[in-house]
Chain A
Amino acid sequence: MYFGYKNIYITFGKKEILKDVTMSFEKNKVSTIIGKNGCGKSSLLRILSNAVKPISGEVIFEDKLLKEYTRKDIAKRIAILPQVHDAPSDTTVETLVSYGRYPHKHKSIMTSKEDEEIISQSMELMGLTDIRKQSLGTLSGGQRQRAWIAMTLTQQPEILILDEPTTHLDITYQIEILSLIESLNKKFGLTVIMVLHDLNQASRYSHKMYVINNKKVEAIGTPNEILTTSMMEKVFSLKTTILEDNYAKRPYFLAKYSVKHNK
């Protein structure tokens, strides 16, 4: 297994969140975890940033247990952007992005030439070069999110993990962020694992979708396999019409009504 979860069991107090979840993500692909609110999809990612501690189960990275790696080694290869993040508002874009070099740094306080280059590259990729001297407090939500993603890119990871990277953003910025993520995957083969709220966006931008329902993995498959009327009814209690988008050749849905309230 390249990267994935094995028999994960999570409880919050007495409440069971996930039981026996096993899923494996493919290298160089964009994978998206979907499910209803509170189904435990974010918890799955938060295991990786130590914010959720599973009762049992393991995270696997290249056929080894993740906990067998040192923290620094993981940080050099896997970057995580949690849903809620915060930095002092007077931090400049450049400074924030430079923090991504932390796991690579040795004892020296000064940033090396190589570091500088990687930092400006990440800013270039995320279109931040013009605003690099600005402080985070003066930026729009979309710019700020781009700065954070640039920070994770500066870690030079092979896997990028994003927990709902588009929440609280206007639709323009949502698509902007997702397109940037798509291009990172295409250009550099970056493996992306994320949680998304919007199923149509998940279908549009991912190679594989992972559905969590009733504390378990309901289905894993391509957008065409997942976005079906039966799945939408079973997992989201919605009667839907499934259509195909001419441009990206991906399925999308339109909701007719909620099964729960329109019997």
Chain B
Amino acid sequence: MIRKIFIILSLLVIVLFCIMFSISIGVMQIPFREVLKVLFTSEESIHRIIVFDLRLPRTLVATLVGICLSLSGCILQGVMRNTLASPSTIGVTSGASFVGYVTLVVFPDLYYLLAVGSIIGAFLTTMIIYSLAFSKGVSSVRMILSGLAVTALFSAFNDVIKIFFAERIVDAQSFMLGSLNGTTWEQFFMISPFAIIGIVICFFIPNKLNILMLGDEIAYSLGINVERFKLFLIILASLLSGVAVAVAGLISFVGLIIPHIARLLVGSDYKYLFPTAILLSTIFMTICDMIGRIIIMPAEMPVSVIISFIGAPFFLYLLRTREMTK
């Protein structure tokens, strides 16, 4: 237990460094000392404008997106009782982006509805996958294949929308590309209410989730209304992944990699898993975003590209090691 708390505290320190770096690095370098000065005094300067109008909202949005996706991954893995579940592997993010697109097309003037649309899309997709893949527990094969089919279907729909309504969705560049370029406070305020509600709820359910991990029958006999709790978890996971998709588009694999590394570090107890996942995803997202910003400077590589370069091989590695251990 002491080891786990030590790990969490160390991660917290790394998080602070990453956030500082993320604010400091870019086309215009701002030294650490300046960053601190800008954050903690009210002196007017060019640095202040860069930090407050560009870097800070972007870093915060990146952080929130990462946290939401990884918490959603942790929860989905619990509901499906399968560590290969995550918002992207089971097609939830693609469903969220599809309904997001539809919302943009139908209500082009109501930009903030995008978040609501994505959340609804995420929820519907999770329910579809859960019912398709479920029969006495979720089999990995059926879950991944259902996810694949659902993703293919929704991407096809998305392409149709992009072709027929190109002019209506032009404003939602980052949503389409999976990029955090040009993120402003507007996006932060669009997602933060949903994200914060979702994150706060996560701190109240670890005990119950731990018991759900003992299997439906045991959980039921310990007094949990299993069906209702699972539905609640699916809604929560959808809220979290939908909100992330609304600002960052199709960012794959964060929801898979982070819960896995967190499990390796602190084990499967949700009391430790959630905080670890939150910290790890903050570190991971800010680093990926920084790489994207500097790798082809002055141009930018969308953060989703960087994450996929790291995430896809990791996913294949997981599939392989799981086969081996069976």
Write out the residue numbers on chain A whose beta carbons fall within 8 Å of the beta carbon of B216.
Answer: 49-51
Is A2's CB within 8 Å of the partner chain B? no
User: In whole angstroms, how far apart are the Cα atoms of A46 and B221 in the complex?
Assistant: 10
Is B207's CB within 8 Å of the partner chain A? yes
Contact with A along B42-59 (1 / 0, CB 8 A): 000000000000000000
Write out the residue numbers on chain A whose beta carbons fall within 8 Å of the beta carbon of B226.
Answer: 50
Within 8 Å by CB of B217, from A50, A74, A75, A155, lies A50
Is B29's CB within 8 Å of the partner chain A? no
Write out the residue numbers on chain A whose beta carbons fall within 8 Å of the beta carbon of B221.
Answer: 48-49, 75, 78-80, 82
Whether A87 touches B217, Cβ cut-off 8 Å, given contacts A50-B226, A102-B222, A155-B222, is no
Is A237's CB within 8 Å of the partner chain B? no
Contact with B along A95-124 (1 / 0, CB 8 A): 110011011010001000000000000000
Is B210's CB within 8 Å of the partner chain A? yes
Is A71's CB within 8 Å of the partner chain B? yes
Please state if A91 and B222 are interface contacts (CB–CB under 8 Å): no
Is B211's CB within 8 Å of the partner chain A? yes
Contact with A along B215-246 (1 / 0, CB 8 A): 11110111111100000000000000000000
Size category of the binding interface on chain A: 20 to 34
Chain B residues bordering chain A, tally (CB within 8 A): 19
Is B31's CB within 8 Å of the partner chain A? no
User: In whole angstroms, how far apart are the Cα atoms of A147 and B279 in the complex?
Assistant: 33
Is A88's CB within 8 Å of the partner chain B? yes
Write out the residue numbers on chain A whose beta carbons fall within 8 Å of the beta carbon of B14.
Answer: none
A155 → chain B closest CB, angstroms: 7
Whether A51 touches B213, Cβ cut-off 8 Å, given contacts A74-B223, A103-B222, is no
Is A85's CB within 8 Å of the partner chain B? yes
Please state if B215 and A85 are interface contacts (CB–CB under 8 Å): yes
Please state if A86 and B224 are interface contacts (CB–CB under 8 Å): no
Q: Which of B174-231 contact A (CB under 8 A)?
A: 207, 210-211, 213-218, 220-226
Most-contacted residue by chain A among B216, B220, B223 (CB, 10 A): B223
Write out the residue numbers on chain B whose beta carbons fall within 8 Å of the beta carbon of A88.
Answer: 213, 267-269
Which residues of B come within 8 Å of A, CB atoms?
A: 207, 210-211, 213-218, 220-226, 267-269
Can you give 6 contacting A-B residue pairs, CB < 8 Å?
A: A48-B221, A49-B218, A51-B217, A71-B223, A86-B215, A99-B222
